[in-house]
Each structure stands twice: as C-alpha cells, then as structure tokens.
Structure 1
Amino acid sequence: MKQIPPLLGRLVSHWEALIALMALLGIVIHLILRFGLEYRVDQPGIGVVDVPLLLALAAGVPLLFNLMKSLAQLEFGADLLAGLSILTALLLDEYLAGALIVLMLSGGHALEGWAVRRASFALEALANRMPSVVHRYHNGQLEDVALDDLAVGDVISVYPHETCPVDGIVLDGQSTMNEAYLTGEPFLLPKAVGANVISGAINGEGRLTVQATSRAVDSRYAKIMQVMRESEQRRPRLRRLGDRIGALYTPLALGIALLAWGISGDPVRFLSVLVVATPCPLLLAIPVAVIGSVSLAARRGIVIRNPGVLEQIATCRVAIFDKTGTLTYGHPTVTDILVAPGMLREDVLAWVASLERYSRHPLAVAILAAARKESLTLSDAEEVSERPGEGLKGRVAGKRLVITGRSKLQASHPELLSHLPAPAGGLECVVLVDETYAGLFRLHDEPRLEGRDFVHHLSPLHGFERVMIVSGDRESEVRYLADKIGILEVHAGQSPEQKLALVRKATREAPTLFMGDGTNDAPALTAATVGVAFGQGSEVASEAADAVVLDSSLARVDELLHIGRRMRVIALQSALGGMGLSLAAVGIAAMGHLSPVQGAILQEVIDVMAILNALRAALTPHPLSDLINKH
C-alpha cells in the first residue's frame, strides 16, 4: 500500500466506498419495491425490483477484475470466495445474494482504506520543504532563478528564515542555522564567513551570502530524498493477517461447496455454501478491530499513519533507536565544571556565561542555564568574535577568554593539552583565560527518565531479541548514553545512508521497530517493519513513519506495543470465531437447508457478532503500559 501515489490512493479508497454505497442503495430500493409493490419474485424474467440489484452487481465489476488479477498471481486470499459468490449469484439469477456480497466485499475494503496512509506523502513533504527558486547574484544584482538552474560556484543570498537550497560556504554575513531536519541535533549552529552550510537547513535571523559547492541534485538534502525514494521502492510488501488466514480457509470452503454441488447435482446449493462461507469476519471484523485500535491510540497521543503496522508491531524482534530526541530529551545540560588549580569554579562559570551570552553555539544555552541556576552575576563582554575553527573569543572583566574544543586546542595551543582532564563521554568545551588553561565544561543530553526501564523490559515482556542505537552523533556521546540506559549494541557516526543499510540488514533477519525523530531518520523509518516517529519537529519523519508519538514518550511506545498486541488478539478472536460459525453454517447449507438469501442473512448475523467483538479494541484496558506504575 505504501507505493500507491497519494492521489491514486485517495481515488481507490473513495471508489470502493462508492461501490459499497451503490450496493446498499440497490438493496434498499429492491426491498422497498418488493414489499411496497408486493411484487411476485417467482415470475419469470427480470422484473422491476431486480434492476437496482443488477446495478449493484454492475458496480461490483471492478472488484471482480481485481480478484481475477489476484487469482492470476496465485493469491488465494479472503476475497476469492466473495468473488466466486458474486459470479455464481449472477449466473443463477440470485441477484439479492450477489448484491449482499458486493456490499460486504466493498464495505470491508472501504473500511480498511479509511485510515490507511500512503508513505509517498513523505517524499512530498521532503520536496515541499525546498524552495523552488533561489536568489542568485548576477553582475552584482540579485535575480530569482529556478533551483535546478543553480551551478557550482554561483553566489546566492539566503534570507532570514529561508531554507538553504544547496550545500555551500558562507562568504558574508552572520546567522544561525537549524540543521535538525538533517542531522537530528536540536541545536542552532552559528554560521559566519568560512562556515559550511547544508541544503535543507533553516536560516535564522541573519542574511547570508553563500557560494554553492554543489548542484541542487547533488546536495545533502537531495541525497536524503534519493535514499528515501529507494527505501520506498524496496520496502517488502507485508502480507496481511486476513490474507494469511484466508489462504487456508478459502480452499476448504470451496472444496465443501464443490462437494455439495457434486453430491446433490444442484448448483444453487453450491451458491448457498459459497454465500454462507464468504469470510466476512475477515473482510469486516479485522478492519473494525484495526480502526478501533487506531482510535484508542489517538486518545493516547499516538497517531497511527499506517494501520497495517498494528498487525506487525507485536511480531517485531529487533528494536532500533536513534539517540537525540528519542532516547534523550534533546536539551544538553552542564554536568561537570572542572577548573585548574588557583581558579574558582564560580568565577570561571560567570566569565564563560558572560561571553556565551553573545554566542549562538548550541552549548551556550546550557552554560547560561547553569549560571542562572547558581544565581551568578554576569559581566559585559567586549571584543567578541566567533570565527569558524577559532572558537569563541572575547574580553570579560579585564580577562581575555577563549572557549574552544580539545581538537582545536591541539592545533592552537598543544602545550596546554597535558593540563586537561582525560577525555570522557559526552560533549565538552575548554576554557582559556589569558592564554592559560582555566577549566573544562562537560555537558550531556540526558536520557529520558523512563529510558532504562523501557529498554530493559523489551526482552522479557515483548519478546525483543536485539536492541541497538544507530545515531549520527559522536562515539563518546552515544556510548555515554548507551551505558546509562543499558544498550550494548552501538552504531555511532552514521549517515542516513548508513542508517538505512543497517536497518535493511536487520529487517532481513527479523522484524524491526525503528524509533527516530529527524528527517535524517526518514529512510530508516520507512525501511523498518514498523517506524515510529517522536514529536512533531520533523514533518518528513512524521510522514515517513507508520506511527507518530506526539509527546515523545517511551511510555507511549510501550502503550503502542500493547495496543498492537491486543488488536491482534481481538482480531483473531473475531475472525476465527466468526469463521468457525460460518463453517457450521456451511455444513447446514451443504445439506440443502439454507437458500442463498437465507445464507446471506445468516452470514450477516455472524458478521454482526464478529464486529461487536472487534469493537472491544476501541476500549481502554487498564493498565495499558508496563511502565505506568514506575513513572
């Protein structure tokens, strides 16, 4: 279903609903004419009361073409008996029975298609985020040209709040860019002369002059789109629960119908058996259970974009996590401030925070928050500069400060490296005061409160056999998080292409559940058996995912696991229970005790019983999560 274009998908869903409506109207009009006009149904030929039924049967012809196509592909699903019933009813002039089957078949398809999402919307969302025109300099003047006309070396202007159209280098201006859509990091990154920018990043308040280093079709964003498209095309088709059951039930029921015809010599008995054997609990009860579960999930803040995954999530055996925003809150905090001998911790923090007020570096917010927490008084800063590769520089309280990283310090002041503490997991920045080592700040993006309990309960309570982190972040930060929440398998520094390859490999070996929140996760979300997106930060990730957890809670993912498992149980109860009753009715019909219309009515009674049971899926059980008593 995921490869159907959005417009075509909507047309198919509406078309099947229209067939169901026409069948229902045909049956109602037939009954009004029949009983209102007291028309004799045993008179020869086609009467007035039969015309609405014939129109209903004619509306079901497209359904028969689809069934014939499935039959040609040797797919013996739940719909095959319904198709044979329609044809047999038409041949034997049992129009009412045929119209009832058209109603059941098209109604079941329309009901299921009501909530089915088409994942190609994700590609649409990706494309819509990019500007169609760019502001290019030509002879010193700005002109708007098509994005595809941009060449390597062209100089463009990126206005405030615009999406950067290509990869490039900043020639003039200062601003920040949000690259979360591509990297998954929820930081505003400073951009000044010499800084690299990537396509798809959202510019901040400043205007930037950028020289393109690649064409739009070769940019980072275009590569993600290409990977996403390939992932869409290569995703295997999942065989639905109803189809698997129908593949066993259909030959059995068909065999009984042929045997009844052969023994009695009466083709009407063949039709009676087919009508009562039509697996409507599969065609109706399973979609009702699915939609009830979709409703329950929505009330819990979980948007189910592909109802089919409710059948699949309980079978997943591999859990794959992105890191930032999924296992963490996406907001780094200062965890340690280590100062050099002779320095006071409060002084170093106050000086650094005073300078960081003028920075848009992602760690500046965390350092300022630490200073506010300790109620420190900040000073004005002078001579502030933040050039790429040089760190943040400035003068505070008469002292010359440099805030940089360990790797940059190695290039500028290698003699100071021996004064630094040993590297540890997570993020860090080094502080120099008057060209002397003054301290080191360690920061971490802390794991979610329920993270460790959630990870540890996956194996014993949900049957997961393998749990891993696949992240684009640095090894030290990912390892730090993995150790805190108890994940042993770590894949750090992964690009979207590498993430996709890992997920594909894992999915070939066992059903997978992937959880992420950024555009860089979109291909992996699509390639996994079940993809769950966190929050509403990335439209692309949400469109690519099968389900979206709106409040970014791992406890909600646990609820989704329970909803899927419960839906599967209720759907099986409804389908198998209803089919068991149908088989009992098949025996009665095979002995000649049911006419086709009586069989259709009895089948409707069985359907109602199966559907009533399936409706239980919409009710909220207590508890719905294993973590409810812990957090």
Structure 2
Amino acid sequence: MSNLKKFLLTVTVGIVALILEFGFHQARVAFWLIAIVGGIMTISMLIGMVQTLRSGKYGVDILAITAIVATLLVGEYWASLMVLVMLTGGDSLEDYASHQAGRELQSLLNNSPQIAHRIDGEEVTELKVDEVQVGDTILVKPGELVPVDGRVIAGESFVDESSLTGESKPIEKQINDELMSGSINGDAALRFKVTKSAKDSQYQTLVKLVQESEAKPAHFVRLADRYAVPFTLIAYIIGGIAWFVSKDPVRFAEVLVVASPCPLILAAPVALVAGMSRSSRNGIVVKTGTTIEKLVRAKSIAFDKTGTLTEGKLSVEEIKVVSENISREDLVIYAASGEQESSHILARSLIAYAKAEKLSLLPVANLEEVTGQGIQAIVEDKEIRVGKAAFAGSNTELSSEKTAVYVSIAGQYVGYITFTDIVREESAETIKELNQLGITKTIMLTGDHQSIAKQIAEEVGISEVHAECLPEEKINVIKTLSDGDRPGIMVGDGVNDAPALAVADVGIAMGAHGSTAASESADAVILKDDLSRVSEAVRLSQDTMRIARQSVLIGIVICVILMLIASTGVIPALLGAALQEVIDTVSILSALRARKDR
C-alpha cells in the first residue's frame, strides 16, 4: 500500500471514530476501531523494523512503535491516532517533496523525443525514433524536438538546448553544426544527417542517467540512522525519568509522542534529492546521493587533457603547401570539404577554422573513413585523402610531438596542416577553485607527449603529470592513490577515459561532446561544455550536505526540547502528536533549501 493510501485510510478511520464517539456516544467502539487500525499499522512497521535490523542497520521505527503502543495502553487512543496520522502524512509529504525537488530531472523524461521525419529522395516518412539509422537524413520542423544526434546538412535555425545544457540562450545552427537530441528547433526547418542511433544519442543517454539517479538509493539516507541510537536512548531516558518522578505512565507516553523520528527519516533524502535537482539546473547530472557525499570529502582530482582541460578542438597552427599548383586557401578548402561529414576532433577543428576564415566548402561524395589512417572522399571529381603521412603519399613526417594531417589531391601529396591544443579559458580558475574547496592534489592523465602535457599542466596549475598513458595506465594511477588522497575524482570525456571513470571513487564525464561510454561509466555528467561545472559540482555537493546535516540536527533539537517540556506534563499526548507535524514541516522546509541557488 502506498504512503498516500495509508494516510487516507488513517484519516478515514479517524473521521469514523469521531462520529462514533461524539455523534453516537460509542467511545468503546471508537477505541477498538482505532486500536485495530493502530495495531495493523504497528505490525506493518514492526516487520519493516525487523528487516532493517537483519540487514545490519538500526532504524528509528522503534520510537514510533513504542509511542503508538504506549498511548493505546494508557487509554490515550486519540493521541495514538494522531501519531499514525502524522507518520503516514509525513511519509506522503516526503513523497511529494521528493517529487517536487526532482521535477527538473523528470522534465527530461517528459520531453523525450518519440518520432522522426526521414527523407527518402523527395518523400518524407514518419517513423519511431528507435527505427532511425546512422546515416539517415532527417527533417526537423520548426518547434519540434530533435529526435537523435546528427550534423546539419541544410538550413539555418536557432535551437534551444536548455533542457540539455542549462544554457537558456538559443544556439544558432548552420551547415556542419552538431545537433543534440532533445533540443528544440526554432522557426526554420533543418535537415541533418544522423551520426548516432537513438540509444546512443545525447538525450536518450541523459534519460538513462536520470532513471539511474532515481533507482539507486542515496547512502546518506542510511547515515541518518547514526543519529537513531542516541536519539532513541535520549527519548527513553527522558520518558523513563518523567514516569519515575511523577509515578504516572501517561507521562512516559506523552514524552514518546513528541519524540518524532521524522526529521531523521525525511530531512536527509529530501535535501539530497533537492541538491541533485539543483545540480541538474546548473548543467550537472549527479546519479546518486553517494556521489554527493564523496564529492564533499574528495581530496584529489585527475583530469584527462584533450576535451577536458582543453576545448576538445584544436586550433590550426600552420598550413604548409608543398605543391606549386595549389594555394594555402585551396588546401584548406579541399581538406575541410573532405572532412565535413567526419566526427573526428581534427575534422571539427579544421571545419571550424574554415568557417572562421569564411571559406565556402565544396560538396563531398563517397566519404570513407579508413581506420587508423584518415578519410578519403570525392570533392569536385577529385579523390581527396586527409590523414597520416604515408596515407596521403608523403615521404616525410613531422615530429611525433606535432599534431598534423597530411593532404593529397588526385593522388598528389600537396601539403600538411598542424594543430595545437586550445586550453579552456576556465581551466586555470577551475583548478584554483578546487584547491580552495579542499582538493589539494591535482593530476593530469594524457596519452600526449610529456613536453606538451607538462606545458599545459604548468599553464593551468596542475601539480602532477602522467603523460603517454594508455587506458590501463590511467586506471593504475587512479587505483594506486593513497588513502590520504581519497576519495579521488576522475574527469574525462573520451571512450578511453571510461575505464578510469568507472574505477575512480567519483567519475565525472564531460558529456556535451564526450562519448556515450564515458557518460555511462561516470557517477556525474557535465552537460554543458564548461569545465568550471566540475568545481561547481563540488561546491553544490558541499552546500547540499551542509543543509542535510543542519536539517537533521534542527529536527532533533526541536524534538529534545519538546520532550523535556512534555516530561513536566505541560503537553498533553494529543497536542504532542499534533506538534510532530510542526517538526516534520520545519525539517522538510529546511531540507528544501538545497534546491535554491544562492
């Protein structure tokens, strides 16, 4: 039976009992009605308490059970009913508060794309999102949700990505720009080529993350039971002394009635759900409450370099032409045109450079990605090859420390283009903020060369560098952190980071352009392409846990004060039961402060 149904049943029984006693003067019938319902509820709670004890934990249900039994035994059956109303009402209120606190997360599920318009020649057919294939051409009409991830091939429009990244400003999309599923198209139609199937697209991945975050229990909810043992002992001691001094067993019942366990039961989970909701509004999906706890206590953090500390796109550094038959501009146009349907980081960087230089790209046909070598395609009836030196026909190759692509046109090697990392503007400030938040050890893990890695580490303020790392070596660095450096955080974005993200105490994936594997392996996902959200995640977690603890302690303090007052006999059992709802409300309102950005 749901908490709401239990609450409605208890209220209905109370109304019937009121009519019986005060309408028909059947006090004994009213007593037995309340006693039977109270007994059933108490047995149900007792079974739950035994299951909790068997799992090796101690809960606070024993206080509520004792209060109900004690008030029935001393004849205060209306107080017993009030305790039941408060407990079932409190549980219902917790469900409501959790739902309200998590509504930003739920909005992802509510807006999930369902259909797509596929273009076959001149015909447009409607099909389910799950039936869309990579390579299909899809039409997204004005005001519609983008069904799957892709790249624009026709049209220009402004797109709302706020549900994905938290960025309220619409983003202009032109030819070759990436589209994320779940974003909302503006006032012009777009055609795009599908780059990921529905199950791997951005929006569906986020939906999966939301479902995980709701399914996995938050560890701190159980930590609230740490307070249960001393709190229960205090209640029994105060009640026992009041009974002993007054020689009146009713006094014991009156103390237990106001010893509400609800602050322990409600405050922590409501605060954590509220904090997770607040994080989602700031572009951070946190999967579990355990992640929030670990972020609070974190002592070290490791970063992947490319796509994390750097922008995930490289800037063109040098364009070298070795043929007299082609200009630097033509070299870029042919290379970028050939790469325009590739999702590789160098392709994105080259196309971005061509756009910035206002160069018009040429139509591409027969694009083929040759694994480990590069791409070949037909541009203006000429075969274009862009990739490694030997693949493009070059006899010489630059130093391995240089990132470069070599270009051939119609079988003739014509030149190369080199790239350099663009360090994120926010990287250095993020490292500084993390240090201020208590994370003193910072590490860079990269497959790049030592000299490049060291230069970037010095620029952003990272203290320890592990260069030329394979995925297995990244895992070893994470695994061998000392106890004093734990919990440790790993931040990455690529498929090769997924194993390290999974073994870290807290894995944080840069999800805006990162791989699905990285997002699924991580404990938290940054939705916006902004590294400062990492330090923001730590700050929000610290704020959330502070509010959770405050809310628990506020409820306990109020309970103890009321118990002391009740021990004098000033608070009747019925009034004490009513005061429980005040304590519950104060605790929940305090916990919901975690939703608000300050």
TM-score when scaled to structure 1?
0.62
Trace 1:36-55 onto structure 2 (pairs within 5 A): 38=22, 43=27, 45=28, 47-48=29-30, 51=33, 54-55=36-37
For the Cα contact (< 8 Å) 1:353–1:367, is it kept in 2? no
Relative to structure 1, the CA distance from residue 384 to residue 588 in structure 2 (aligned partners, 3 Å threshold; closer, same or farther) is closer
What is the CA–CA distance in structure 2 between the aligned matches of 1:83 and 1:322, rounded to whole Å? 53
1:213-224 alignment to 2 at 5 Å? none
Q: Deviations over 1:185-226 (max 9, x none)?
A: xx99xxxxxxxxxxxxxx9899xxxxxxxxxxxxxxxxxxxx
SS at match of 1:591: coil
Displacement after TM superposition at 1:443 (Å): 1.7
Q: Report the identity percentage.
A: 30
What CA deviation, in whole Å up to 9, does each residue of 1:430-471 have, x standing for no partner?
Answer: 4589999975422245333212211122112x1112223445
Quickly say closer, same or farther: Cα 1:282–1:347, change in 2 above 3 A.
Answer: same
Which residue of the partner structure matches residue 165 of structure 2? none
Q: Does 1:468 align with 2:467?
A: no
Residues 348, 493 of structure 1: alpha-carbon distance in 2 compared, 3 angstrom cutoff: same
Letter in 1 for 2:331: W
Say whether the 8 Å CA contact 1:57–1:99 is kept in structure 2. no
Q: CA deviation at 1:395?
A: 11
- Distance in 2 (CA, whole Å) between partners of 1:388 and 1:580 is 65
Q: Secondary structure at the match of 1:561?
A: helix
* Deviation digits for residues 364-385 of structure 1 (CA, Å, limit 9, x no counterpart): 4433443454456889999999
Report the equivalent of 2:588.
611
How far 1:76 moved relative to its partner? 3.3
- Alignment partner of 1:351 is 2:351: no
Preserved CA contact (<8 Å) 2:254 2:566: yes
Residue 600 of structure 1: how far off its partner (Å): 1.9
Equivalent residues in 2 for 1:76-115, closer than 5 Å: 76-89=58-71, 94=77, 95-100=80-85, 102-103=87-88, 106-107=91-92, 110=95, 114=99
Contact 1:517–1:533 (Cα < 8 Å) also in 2 = yes
Output aligned runs, 1:236-385, within 5 Å: 240-264=222-246, 266-337=248-319, 347-348=327-328, 350-351=330-331, 353-355=333-335, 357-359=337-339, 362=344, 363-374=346-357
Residue aligning to 1:12: none
Residues 1:498 and 1:255: Cα distance change in structure 2 (over 3 Å): farther
Residue range with higher mean Cα deviation, 516-525 or 241-250: 516-525
Q: Distance in 2 between matches of 1:114 and 1:277?
A: 27
Out of 290-299 and 447-456, give the one that drifted further. Answer: 290-299
Cα distance between partner residues in 1 of 2:72 and 2:3: 17
Secondary structure of 2:22's match? coil
In 1, Cα distance between equivalents of 2:553 and 2:507: 29
Bigger CA drift: 252-261 or 432-441? 432-441
User: Counterpart of 2:317 in structure 1: which amino acid?
Assistant: T
- The 8 Å contact of residues 7 and 92 in structure 2, kept in 1 or not, is answered as no
Query: Where do 5+ consecutive residues of structure 2 fail to align?
Result: 103-131, 137-149, 152-176, 179-192, 197-216
Q: Which runs of no fewer than 5 residues in structure 1 stay unpaired?
A: 1-14, 118-158, 164-176, 179-186, 189-202, 207-234, 622-631
C-alpha contact 1:575 1:610 (8 A) present in aligned 2:
yes
How far apart, CA to CA, are the structure 1 residues paired with 2:443 and 2:224? Answer: 32
Q: 551, 555, 561: which one pairs with 1:574?
A: 551
Q: TM-score if structure 2 supplies the norm length?
A: 0.65
Cα 1:526/1:279, change in 2 over 3 Å:
farther
Deviations 1:248-300 (A, max 9, x none): 43333333334444555544433332332223222233334334434433443
Secondary structure (helix, strand or coil) at the match of 1:357 reads helix
- Map of 1:577-592 to 2, 5 A cutoff? 577-592=554-569
Residue of structure 2 aligned with 1:601, choices 578, 582, 594: 578
- 8 Å CA contact 2:34–2:81 kept in 1: the answer is no
The answer for the alignment partner of 1:161 in structure 2 is 134
Inter-partner Cα distance in structure 2 for 1:384 and 1:111 = 53
Q: Is the aligned partner of 1:449 residue 2:425? A: yes
- The reply on whether 1:22 has 2:6 as its aligned counterpart is yes
Paired amino acid for 2:264: L
In the alignment, the residues of structure 1 paired with residue 360 and residue 258 of structure 2 have an alpha-carbon distance, to the nearest angstrom, of 82
- Letter matched to residue 274 of structure 1: L
Decide which moves more: 397-406 or 497-506: 397-406
The verdict on how the C-alpha distance between 1:567 and 1:352 changes in structure 2, with shifts beyond 3 A counting, is: closer
Corresponding residue SS for 1:594: coil
Distance 2:86 2:366 in 1: 81
Return closer, same or farther for 1:541/1:354 CA change in 2, 3 Å cut-off: closer
**C-alpha distance in structure 1 between counterparts of 2:83 and 2:380, whole Å:** 90
Q: What's the RMSD between the two structures over aligned residues?
A: 5.1
Aligned residue number for residue 205 of structure 2:
none
- 1:357 alignment partner AA: S
Cα 1:533/1:356, change in 2 over 3 Å: closer
Counterpart AA for 2:429:
D
Aligned to 2:214: none
